[in-house]
A = this chain, B = another copy of it.
Amino acid sequence: MMTEKRKLTLKDIAKALGLSVSTVSRALKAHPDIAKETIELVKKYAEDNHYVPNLLAVNFRKSRTYNLGLIVPEIVHHFFSTVISGAISEANSQGYNILVTQSNDLLEVETKASQIMLNGSVDGLLISISNETTTAEHLNAYLSEGKPIVQFDKITDHLSCPKVIVDDFEGAYQATTHLISQGYKRIAHIRGRKDVKNACDRYEGYLQALRDANLPTSDDLVMCCSAISEEEGYSFTAELMEGRTPPDAIFCITDLVAFGSLKYLKEKGYAIPDQVGLMGFSNWMISETTTPTLSTVNQHGYEMGREATKLLLQLIKDQNLNSEDTTILKTELIIRESSMRQKG
């Protein structure tokens, strides 16, 4: 059973055909210098004997791995899995493989993972940084060594490389404006960490929408998550609703948080959307399965993955293209039952 025959090499072909290794090498690439008959001869022999070039040798010779690294905070996460899917699709179509790993939102893990990858396993890195990542020394070293990096979704300005994000400000602005258009007046926001950029952008979008509608803003209406969990959604909603002047709508940083919020509201018998309106963010699958279904903002993760990968491959193929533009993808407001007070 253990055939384990040694793989055919150029040398073998050369010997068999009475040619030199270099001729065989060139013939297989149909180099113009080589005689047509030789090319055919070699190609036929190679094919018949199932010659497969030794990738390890080729890559070593070219100093290329033809792999891209991809680091996300969490893999078991609807949004990130769509990004991964898009990245893989684009990479594969250009002959690259994707090497995936997760940081679990820990800086230490992210640091180690990026080192392992960039120390020779990949030609470039796609990364969405962890919640703990506020500096970027662990990545800047590689950047200046010439290893290209592209950031997406959760980004930091301390790393000057191309970035692909969603228009978090605009998405939050639209979501809040939609709530306002449905007649909600006291709109609360359960936000994410203050040191995470997209959480801040969403918060700013929320604020701006209120201001533009001449609605009051108040710190009492804003709660700040750290883990972005269902539990936080539940307990912050409790805090909001049990307060002196409870809100009539809640905009949550994420669908998961909104689900926690929904749970509390339903338990306490609030009518949604009539008494309290609710919006999430990210368009996870769960936003379609709750009752009522959850209004949200689609972040187009698949496109984000494709776009980030495209940029990274450009950088890899054209080394002296030294971009650090931020690509901002449009979000899409998805209105479902949890915020549709004005029927029809």
Copies in the complex: 2
Assembly CA distance A335 to B329 (angstroms): 41
Return the contact of A81 from the options B56, B76, B266 (Cβ within 8 A).
B76
Interface residues of A in 284-303 (CB under 8 A from B): 284-286, 289-291
A67 interfacial contact with B, CB 8 Å:
yes
Task: List the B residue with the shortest CB-CB distance to A160.
Answer: B1
A contact residues, range: 35 or more
A188-218 interface bits toward B, Cβ cutoff 8 Å, 1 = contact, 0 = none:
0000000000000000000000000000000
Return the contact of A1 from the options B4, B144, B266 (Cβ within 8 A).
B144
Interface residues of A in 73-92 (CB under 8 A from B): 75-78, 81-82, 84-85, 88, 92
Closest CB in chain B relative to A1 CB, distance in Å: 7
Contact A146 B101 (CB under 8 A): no
Q: Which of A29-37, A111-119, A179-187 contacts B (4 or more CB under 8 A)?
A: A111-119
A99 interfacial contact with B, CB 8 Å:
yes
> What are the residues of chain B within 8 A of A66 when measuring CB–CB?
121
Assembly CA distance A266 to B78 (angstroms): 26
Contact A322 B121 (CB under 8 A): no
A52 interfacial contact with B, CB 8 Å:
yes
Closest CB in chain B relative to A2 CB, distance in Å: 7
A243 interfacial contact with B, CB 8 Å:
no
Interface residues of A in 1-30 (CB under 8 A from B): 1-5
> What are the residues of chain B within 8 A of A78 when measuring CB–CB?
76, 78, 285
Closest CB in chain B relative to A202 CB, distance in Å: 22
Closest CB in chain B relative to A333 CB, distance in Å: 21
Contact B76 A85 (CB under 8 A): yes
Contact A146 B55 (CB under 8 A): no
A126-157 interface bits toward B, Cβ cutoff 8 Å, 1 = contact, 0 = none:
00000000000000000011100000000000
Contact A121 B55 (CB under 8 A): yes
Assembly CA distance A240 to B81 (angstroms): 34
Contact A99 B101 (CB under 8 A): no
A259 interfacial contact with B, CB 8 Å:
yes
A320 interfacial contact with B, CB 8 Å:
yes
Return the contact of A289 from the options B57, B67, B81, B289 (Cβ within 8 A).
B289
Interface residues of A in 51-81 (CB under 8 A from B): 52-57, 59-60, 63, 65-67, 75-78, 81
> What are the residues of chain B within 8 A of A286 when measuring CB–CB?
285-286, 289
Assembly CA distance A152 to B251 (angstroms): 41
